[in-house]
Amino acid sequence: MSEKTIFGQFKNQDIELISKKDINYDNTNHTRFPQVNFEKLYGNFQSAGELVSDVVLKKYLQKLENYEIEPLSESDKTLSKIRMFKVTEMVYQKEENTTLKFASIFNALQSQNCGVFLLMNSDGKKTDFYMGVRAMNSQSSPRSLENMLSSSIRGQFPGSKIESFNETKINETLDFLPQEHIVSVSGIAGFKDTHQTENEDYIQGLEKLATAMQGYKYALVVLSKGISVEELEFIKKSYEQIYTEISPFSELNFSYGKSDAISISQGLSSTLTQGKSDTVTETKGWEEGSTRGVSDTEGKSISQKSMDTKIASSASSIATAATSLALITKHPLMGAIAGAVGIASGFATMALDKTNTDTQTKTVSNTTSHSRTQSNSVSKGTTTSTSKGVTNTKGNTQSNSSEMQLTRENKSIKNLMKKIDIQLERIEESEDLGLWENATYVLAEDRYVADLVANNYKALIVGENSGLETIALNHWERGDKKQSKQFSLMQDYVKNLIHPIFRYRNMVPVKATSLVSSKELAIYMGLPRKSVVGLTVNEHASFEKNIMHHSLSVNSEKINIGSLYDYSDTKGASVSLDTENLTKHTFITGSTGSGKSNTTRKIVEEITKKNLAKVLIIEPVKGEYKNQLGNRFSVYGTNPKKTTLLRINPFVFPNQINVFDHIDRLINILNVCWPMYAAMPVLLKNAIIEAYEICGWDVKNSEYLEDEPKIYPSFSDVKLCLENIINSSSYSADTKGDYIGSLVTRISSLVEGLNGLILNTSCISDTELFDNNVIIDLSDTGSPETKSLLMGLLVMKLNEYRIANSKPSNNSLNHVTFLEEAHNLLKNPNSITESTETGLLAKSVELISGSIAELRAYGEGFVIVDQSPTAVDISAIKNTNTKIIMKTPELEDRIVIGKSIGLKDDQIEEIAKFPQGVGVVYQGEWVAPVLVKMDKAENNNHSYFKPEKRFDAEKILLEYLTQSSMANSSKIFDSYQLEEAMTRLSLETSVKNRLLQSFNNYEKTNDIGLSANQISKLVTVIVRNSKYEISFLQSQSLGDQREFEISLEKSVKKRNRIDLATAKKVTKILLQELNGNKIQ
C-alpha cells in the first residue's frame, strides 16, 4: 500500500455538492430559479475542513492506538527476507558533512523496493547498534541488498567495522527485544540548525539518546520503505491539485453599492381596433373496448458484496464531505486530499470491489385485447379585424451610484496552502535523494522507560519543517486487556520489521509513517557521531588520495613499500619510493609497536632483492635485524658469543685523508659521546696528536716517517700522553684532578675489557664493512656513551672511505646506511641541561650531520630511524628528503615532524591515532604527503648464532715468548699470526714496537731476539689482568706461599688457554716480577 493508492481512492468520485433535495424553487411568475441551502453548504464545508485537517495534516496519527490493526499475513512472518549486521566502529573524517553521506547511503537503496532499518538495543550497560534491510518481494535478493548497504557504509566511511549476522543470530537478536510495551513515534524530522550538520557541531546524533538513556533497558527500531518515482510524481501532482482546489477559498470578496436615478417621460398613444368573429363546431362519435389478461411470475435473487466494496462505499461518504470544496462547480472531488498524505494507502486494493448476484426468474403471460372507435367533427368560422394606432413618447433620465468592495482572508486555508508549498519543496528535493515512508518504534519492559525513550527520541529529531505534519506518540501495552490483541499484532509487525497497518474509521488502511526524504532519514537513522559504550567512533583527517609529482624521474628505479590507505580493508594503489631520492636521505619515525622496524626491513628487503645497492645497518638496540637478515648479511657485534666481534681502530684512516682532518672528526665524535667542558677538547686533541707522533707520524705533513707497516696509535697511547700533558700543565692540583678523573677515566674504559678488544689496532677492513651487506649489532653494549662512540666511529670511517675511494656521482645510489636510534649520535643539543655543554655538542652534531649530508654526492644514502623526532637534532630532519611518519603519540614530536612535510593541524593530530603499519609518506618531488599501509616484510625470524672463531692472542704470544730455545723448538710460529695476535691486544705503542722487532728477528734468524728481562716485562703485560688476579689470589691464600703459587698457575693456564708447561713458565716469570716488586 502506498501514497499513490491513497490518492486514487477519492479520484473520480463524481458527487454533486448540492443535491436536488438541497435546492428550493421559486415558482413566482412561473420561473424555476435554484435557491442554495447555505446552511447545508456551510455544514459540508466544515466537514471538508475537518477531513483536510485529519488527513492532509495527518491528525489521525494521534489516534492510532484506538484503531484496529490488520493481522500480518503468514507469508510476511519470515526472517529469510531480512539481513542484518552489527556496527562495532564508525570512522568519520573531520569537517565532513556526515548527514549527506548517510543520505547517499539510503539513496543507493531507495529504488530497490526494500525496507531499511536501524536497531538500537540497550541492555542497561551498553548500547549496540544494528542496521539491515528487508526485501519486499521475491525479486529482490536480501543478500545483495545487504551487500549494497554494507558496501555503501564502508565506501562512505572507510575504516568502519561491521559484523554480519546469519539467520540464527538475527532471530536471537530480535527474540531478545523487550516484550511488554511498544510506543510508535511518527512525524517529520528536521535539522535544528542547518549550519550545524558537520560532525563537530552536530547535535542530533543518536549518541545523545544513548547517553541520556544510559542504564535503561530498551530497544529502538527505525523502519523505512522507499517510494517509487511514479508514486512520488503522483503525490506531487495531487498536492498541486489540492492547492488549486482550495485556493479560491483563501480569500472572499464582498461588494456594496448605492444608486440614485431620476426619470421624466411623456407619452401619447391612440389606438382604434374593430373586429367581428363567428364560429360553429359540431362533433359526433362512439367507442367500444374489451381487455383480458393472465400473468404468473416466479423469481429468486441472491446478491453478495465483498468487504472491500463496503469499505469503498464508506470511503465515498468521507469523500462526500470533501467534495463540498468544489462548491457549485460540480467538479469531481480530487482524491488528492486524502491521497496527498497517506490516509488511504489501501484504496487501490479496495478499487477491486466485487459483487456476486445470482438471479432466477420464470414468467407465464396470456393477454387478449379488442377496441373500436368512430368520430365525426365539422367546424365553420369567419373573422374580420381592423386596427390603427399612433404613439408619441418623450423622456429624460438622470442617475448617480457608489460602490465599496471588501476582501476577507481565510487564514486557516492560507496556512494550509503554505504547508503544501513546503511539502512540494520537500518532494522536489526528494526527486534527487528519494522519498521514504518512515516511523519509529520503541520497545521496553517498563512503561516509564518506553515513554521516556520515545519522548527523548522525538525531542532529538524534531527541527525545521517538523510542524508540517502531526508529531504523534501512541502506546500499546501487553498487560492492558483492551490492547492485548492489538499489542500482539503490533509485536508481529515490529519483529518482522514491517510497518503495522491500521483501519482509519474502521475501514481505510493507514500506517504510522510520515513521508521523509533521504536527507531527513539520515536524522532518524544517522549513527552516533561520538563514541558510546557499545560503539566506538573515530574521527580521521583526510589525506591526499593520489601521488602527484612536481617532476617525474622516468628512468629511476622504484622500491615498493605499501599501498594507499583510507582506513578501509580495501587495498589501494601501490606506493613506491624513487631510489634517486634515497641519496638525499630518509627519516623514519614512530613509537614502539607502530611498525617502524617492519617499514625499515621492507626498504632493506626491496633494495637488496633488486640489488640496487649494498646496505649497512647499525642497530644499537634490540638486535632484531640479525635474526631477520643474518643469513644474507655479514653480522658483527659487541658480544663474541653471539656474533663475530666488531673490531675497529679509531685512529686508522685511508691514505687519501689528512691526519688533522681525521683527528678533528674523531674529536667531534668524542664531544658528542662525552660531556666536555672547559679545556677538555683541547687536552684530548693534544694527547691524540702526541700519540700519533710517538708512533712515527709527522702530523703537520700527514706523513708516516718510519718503515712500513704503518703503526697507528691506540687508546692506551692516548691515555699515557693525556696523563703526561695534564701532569705537566700549569693547572691547579684540583683542576688536574678533575681532568684526570673525567678524561683519563673515560679513556681507560676504552682500553680495558671488551672495549679494549673492539677498539684496538686490529680492525675489520673498510671494504668488508662498507662494500658488503653488513649488520652491526650493538645491542649488547651496556653503556650509552660506548654505543654513541661506536656509531660515530662507524659513520666517520664510512665518510672517509667514500671520500677516499669514490668519485662524486651526484644521484646514483651505491650504498645505504640505516642508522637506528639515531639520537645516540645525532643528539638534540636542547635536550642537554648543562648550558656549558650545549654549544659544543650542537657544533659537533652539526658537523656530523653535515658530513652525512655531503655523502649524497658519493651515492651514499642514509636512513635515519628514531622513535622521537625531538630527540634528534633538527638538522637531521632538515637534511632528509624522504620522510615516513608512523604512529607518534607525543604532541611536540608530531608538530616537529608534521610541519617538516607541510601537514595541516588536523593531520598532525591524526598521527597519534594511526593503526599499526600505517604511516604518512612524503618524498621531495611529491606535491603532498599520502597515507600508506606498509607491506609486511618477509618473516624469516630465526635465532641467529654465529660466534666468532676463537683467536687466542694471549696464548700465541705467551707460547712464543716462553720458548727457552727456539732453535730446538718443535713449534713454528707464523709471523702474520703473531702480528694479528699483537694487534688484537690493546697494547702501548712501545710494547708493540718491541714485539714487531722480535717478530722480524724471528723470521730472519728463528730467534726471538729478546733478553730474559725483556721477556718478563712482555709476559707481565700480555697476561690478562695479571695485577688484579695476583692481588686477589694473594688475599685468598692467607699467606700460604705454596697455595698461592698453585692457584696462580691454575689461573694463568685457564685464563690464557695455554698448556701446563707454558703456564708453569709464565707463573715463574710472574712470581719473579712479583718478588722484585716490578708488577705495577
Q: How far apart are CA 1061 and CA 319, in angstroms?
A: 129
Instruction: Return the closest-CA partner of residue 898 out of 575, 589, 597, 596.
Output: 589
Q: How far is CA 925 from CA 552, 589, 794, 952, 968, in A?
A: 8, 20, 31, 54, 75
CB burial of residue 595 (10 Å; 0-12, 13-18, 19+): buried
The answer to whether 3 and 235 are in contact (CB under 8 A) is yes
Query: Per residue in 791-834, pLDDT tens?
Result: 999 999 999 999 988 776 666 889 999 999 998 888 888 766 55
Q: How far apart are CA 236 and CA 685, in angstroms?
A: 94
Three-state secondary structure call for residue 188:
coil
Q: How far apart are CA 334 and CA 11, in angstroms?
A: 5
Q: How far apart are CA 355 and CA 307, in angstroms?
A: 10
pLDDT at 1043 over 70: yes
Domain extent, residue 1015, equals 953-1075
Buried b (16+ CB within 10 A) or exposed e, 45-65: bebbbebbebbbbbebbeebb
Rg (C-alpha) for the chain, rounded Å, is 54
153 falls in which pLDDT band (50, 70, 90)? very high
List phi, psi (to 5°) of 411: -65, -35
Query: Per residue in 441-483, pLDDT tens?
Result: 999 999 999 999 999 999 999 988 777 788 899 999 998 888 8
First to last CA, the chain: 110
Region of residue 747 (left: phi > 0; alpha: psi -120 to 50; beta: else)? alpha
pLDDT at 659 over 50: yes
Q: Let me know whether 658 and 523 are in one domain.
A: no
Query: Per residue in 570-610, pLDDT tens?
Result: 778 999 999 888 989 999 999 999 999 999 999 999 999 99
pLDDT at 337: 45
Instruction: Return the closest-CA partner of residue 513 out of 2, 68, 10.
Output: 2
Q: Let me know whether 526 and 658 are in one domain.
A: no
Question: Could you say which DSSP state residue 327 is in?
Answer: G
Query: Per residue in 303-326, pLDDT tens?
Result: 443 333 333 333 333 333 343 333
List phi, psi (to 5°) of 368: -125, 130
Which residue, of 711, 740, 763, is where some domain finishes? 763
Which residue, of 763, 782, 801, is where some domain finishes? 763
pLDDT at 395: 66
Q: How far apart are CA 146 and CA 332, in angstroms?
A: 45
Question: Could you say which DSSP state residue 621 is in?
Answer: S
534 domain residue, yes or no:
yes
Calculate mean pLDDT across residues 181-202: 80
Q: How far apart are CA 575 and CA 599, in angstroms?
A: 13
316 domain residue, yes or no:
no
Q: Let me know whether 223 and 85 are in one domain.
A: yes
pLDDT at 988 over 50: yes
List phi, psi (to 5°) of 177: -70, 150
Query: Per residue in 404-433, pLDDT tens?
Result: 778 888 888 888 888 888 888 888 877 777
Three-state secondary structure call for residue 718:
helix
Three-class DSSP labels, 692-706: HHHCCEECCCCEECC
List phi, psi (to 5°) of 399: -135, 155
116: enclosing H helix or E strand: strand 114-123
523 domain residue, yes or no:
yes
Q: How far apart are CA 225 and CA 499, in angstroms?
A: 9
Provide the whole-model pTM: 0.69
Instruction: Return the closest-CA partner of residue 861 out of 920, 923, 921.
Output: 923
Average pLDDT, the chain: 79
Question: Could you say which DSSP state residue 926 is in?
Answer: B
Non-local (6+) Cβ contacts of 228 within 8 A are 2, 111, 113
217 domain residue, yes or no:
yes
pLDDT at 387 over 80: no
Q: How far apart are CA 336 and CA 246, in angstroms?
A: 12
125 domain residue, yes or no:
yes
Percent of the chain with pLDDT over 90: 34
275 domain residue, yes or no:
no
CB burial of residue 887 (10 Å; 0-12, 13-18, 19+): buried
Q: Let me know whether 86 and 219 are in one domain.
A: yes
Q: How far apart are CA 503 and CA 507, in angstroms?
A: 5
105 domain residue, yes or no:
yes
The answer to whether 464 and 101 are in contact (CB under 8 A) is no
pLDDT at 931 over 90: yes
> In the chain, how many domains are there?
3
Calculate mean pLDDT across residues 55-68: 86
pLDDT at 17 over 60: no
Which of these ranges, 392-401, 483-492, 812-821, has the smallest mean pLDDT?
392-401
The answer to whether 936 and 605 are in contact (CB under 8 A) is no
Q: What is the CATH number of the domain that holds 739?
A: 1.10.8
937 domain residue, yes or no:
no
Instruction: Return the closest-CA partner of residue 759 out of 699, 715, 807, 806.
Output: 715
Q: How far apart are CA 677 and CA 686, in angstroms?
A: 15
Q: Let me know whether 85 and 223 are in one domain.
A: yes
